[in-house]
Amino acid sequence: MNRSEHPASELDRRQFLSRLSRGAAAGAVGVAAGGLLGPQRAATAAPGKWKMRLSCSSINFMSLPIEQACERIAALGFDAIDVWSAHAGCPHLDDVLNRLGPEGLKAVLAKNELDLYAFSVYRGGYPRYAELLGKCGGGVAVRGSEKPCQPSELVARMKAFFEALKPEIELAEKYDSYLAIENHGHALLDSLDSFKAFVDLNAHPRVGIALAPYHVQGLGQSVEEAIATCGKQLLFFYAWQHADGVGQLPGHGATDCTPWIAALAEIDFRWPVNPFMHHEPAPDAMSRAMAKSCAYLKQCYAKAVE
Query: What is the predicted pLDDT for the residue at 48?
Result: 72
Q: How many CB atoms lie within 10 A of CB 25?
A: 9
- 120 φ, ψ to 5°? -95, 120
Instruction: Evaluate the CA torsion angle 197, 273, 258, 219 in order and state its sign.
Output: negative
Best CA proximity match to 43, nearest among 74, 89, 12: 12
Quote the CA–CA distance of 227 and 59 in Å, as a whole number.
24
Going by pLDDT thresholds of 50, 70 and 90, the confidence category of residue 255 is: very high
The alpha carbon of residue 156 and the mean position of all alpha carbons in its chain are separated, in whole angstroms, by 27
CB–CB of 92/124 below 8 Å? no
Could you tell me the pTM of the whole model?
A: 0.86
Percentage of the chain exceeding pLDDT 90: 84
Amino acid, res. 37: L
Residue pLDDT, tens place only, 23-79? 333 333 233 222 233 333 333 345 578 999 999 999 999 999 999 999 999 999 999
The per-residue pLDDT for range 99-122, each reduced to its tens digit, is 999 999 999 999 999 999 999 999
